[in-house]
Amino acid sequence: MQTSKSALRNLSVFLKLFGTSKKSIHKLPVKEKKLKVKKRYFNYLVTVTDDGKTILKERKGKGIWQGLYQFPLVESKKTVGEKYICQSEEFSKLFPTTSSITLFNEKEIIHKLSHQHLYTRFWIIETPEMRHSTISWNSIEVFPVPKLISNFIKSFSSGRD
């Protein structure tokens, strides 16, 4: 009695030979390679100034989000807390003075793309004023943003009204 592996191997050889002899090899099933899905952890820094302004940055480089806008981003290797965010280089550059920071979504938003899953958290940073904050929350909808950020803006804006 043959083992299942050798039986499959024999069947595979038979199908190739049969397909070649009948010129129908293109009709035979092909095993597709599995795509390895990468996990990425995004922490967006959403600025809210006293005069109703925020920061959006245009995404540079390659990728499906090229040319779209996003909030300043701190990417991490795993889910992180407030301490990690406050000690990040991006946070220190943007907020050298004291600011209030709160987590908008306790549960990560998982945005699934074909080759990666984005585990996303939005951190709200309230600060009196900032020279980098030039975009009014009232006109933020005119900027092209990824669906993930668009959904956040709708949710956040409806909670502020």
| pLDDT (tens digit per residue) in 88-119 | 999 988 887 767 999 999 899 999 988 899 99
On average, the pLDDT of the chain sits at 84
What total number of domains does the chain contain? 2
Task: Give the residue numbers spanning the domain of 148.
Answer: 38-160
CA dist 114 and 134 (Å) reads 34
Strands 116-127, 73-76: pairing kind: unpaired
Query: Do residue 58 and residue 28 come from a single domain?
Result: no
Query: Do residue 62 and residue 6 come from a single domain?
Result: no
Q: What is the mean pLDDT of residues 124-153?
A: 89
The token duo for 12 is 């595979």
Query: Do residue 23 and residue 85 come from a single domain?
Result: no
Query: Do residue 78 and residue 137 come from a single domain?
Result: yes
Query: Do residue 78 and residue 10 come from a single domain?
Result: no
Q: What is the mean pLDDT of residues 124-137?
A: 84
| pLDDT (tens digit per residue) in 18-50 | 555 556 666 667 777 777 889 999 999 999 988
Query: Do residue 21 and residue 4 come from a single domain?
Result: yes
Within 10 A of 74 (CB to CB), how many other CB atoms are there? Answer: 20
Query: Do residue 20 and residue 95 come from a single domain?
Result: no
Query: Do residue 14 and residue 53 come from a single domain?
Result: no
State yes or no: pLDDT of 8 exceeds 70.
no
